[in-house]
Amino acid sequence: MARIGVISISDGRDHVHARNAEFIRSKQDGLVNTLRSAGHEVVVGADAVATNALATSVSRQVAAADVDVTIFYYAVWSFPHFTMLAADATRSPIILVASTDPTEPGLVGMLAAGGALDQIGRTHTRLWGAPDDAELAAKVGVHARAAAAVASLRGSTFGRFGGRPMGMNTAVANTDQWMRQFGVDVEEIDQYELVLRAERADATEAAKAREWIESHAAGVHYDGKKLTPELLERQIRSYLAIRDIIAERNLDFSGIKGQPELTEHFATMDVTEAFLNDPYDWNGPKDVHVTATEADMDGALTMQLFHKISGDPVLFADVRHYHAGRDIWDLCNSGQHATWYAARSDDPAENLAKVNFYPEVFFFPAGGASVQHIAAPGQMTLGRLTREAGEYRLQLMLGEFESYDEATNNELVQQSTPEWPHAFARLDAPGELFLSKFGANHIHAIPGDRRAELRAVADLLGVRLDEWSRG
């Protein structure tokens, strides 16, 4: 959850503030308790703001706690210039929240303050309701999670293993623009570093991992050529190697080029990427390290925001095929799908029971295992940060992952690449619109309807929102 600052703004007349102080405190306490019950950490201002000096000092005190978003709370009529001073003393996004108790003019105070902020161009959000209103807390939570996700980018480092894959311009972003717009640095790492580290990785640990996969997966289909126990262990050692590099260089999220060098001469990165994106491995639960295949920078940036919003692993896929007769899309890309998506279970055994490790296809002569499954059904939010004329936009839509009987699933996967993972998606966007306007071949998804948070993310980042629906 997010860290939220709460500052109550009051009347600047001593006698009025003295009369209102207890009323303000009781309303503020109710709001703070509601937010904490929703799981948020709340930092409360040391005093209600009733003077210009307090406006600055209290806001600085809350800002020093590194809050993701700051609420200015209006339970009564409040002098608008206090809000202006308080806003200037914080860099966090601002939410103006008004109490709707008709005994005091909290709405009036919020509107006066909001109008003043409009005049100086300070972006803010306005909400209102009773302090114990669960709907109000949910709306605050949407903006707080969005603010926390955006704030998490600043000061972070993206590790790019290798350069542009196969001439794919949409996978390469301007590092200057990333630092200026998102506060993200890019650490360039040669793929040979991964090869060297993998060769020196712990062979005993790799064997332990291979045996764990063999005992839990639906199948590990060795063919003696493209997939052998030795090749699978090479992929696992690549995972161990990149985790060492991540820890050593303090990388927050990553991308691995893979094609064509590693896939021609070493091994595919399918197993490596899948387990980096999973919330577990053979040693138990772990943090997700968002990793995009094909060193896709905009893909990884989208995935990092999606993960910070939802807390879930993020699906990465190519938009492989549109089954027009069924109005479903086959989202499929090598082994990139985290195994978590097979069943969306906290128990890796449940997920891996639906995962097959197949010999890689002709695209990848170095061999290794692909990580194949069909994504579990359920509502999904799909989208991607793409660029038009150098400017970022967030393309966003709701969808539904579907799964069918075994015969139908098999019929569908056989039409493309059966060895790779698939997600069958029904999008809330017309096929013609999607194919005409979507700005990449890669798409990303998280469970549930997270459009509200992502709308707020687009607003906070100052990027255009292209949201599509059949409505």
181-224 pLDDT, tens digit per residue, is 999 999 999 999 999 999 999 999 999 999 999 999 999 999 99
Cα angle, residue 278 at apex, residues 332 and 329 outer, rounded to 5°: 20
Residue carrying the six token digits 């021609």: 264
Q: What is the mean pLDDT of the chain?
A: 96
Residue pair 134/127 in contact (Cβ under 8 Å)? The answer is no
Mean per-residue pLDDT, 294-320 = 97
Is the per-residue pLDDT at 257 higher than 70? yes
Is the per-residue pLDDT at 334 higher than 90? no
Distance CA 296, CA 318 (A): 12
DSSP 171: G
pLDDT for the residue 288 = 97
Residue pair 107/45 in contact (Cβ under 8 Å)? The answer is no
Is the per-residue pLDDT at 337 higher than 90? no
- Tokens representing 26 are 């009781």
Mean per-residue pLDDT, 68-88 = 98
pLDDT for the residue 76 = 98
pLDDT for the residue 335 = 63
What percentage of the chain exceeds 70 in pLDDT? 100
Global pTM value: 0.95
Helix, strand, or coil (residue 71): strand
Task: Domains for the chain: give ranges and CATH numbers.
Answer: 3-153 (3.40.50.1070), 156-467 (3.20.14.10)
Q: Which residues pair with 44 in a beta bridge?
A: 6
- Tokens representing 35 are 């937010």
Is the per-residue pLDDT at 471 higher than 90? no
pLDDT for the residue 32 = 98
148-179 pLDDT per residue, tens: 999 999 999 999 999 999 888 989 999 999 99
Of all helices (H) and strands (E), which one includes residue 291?
A: strand 291-293
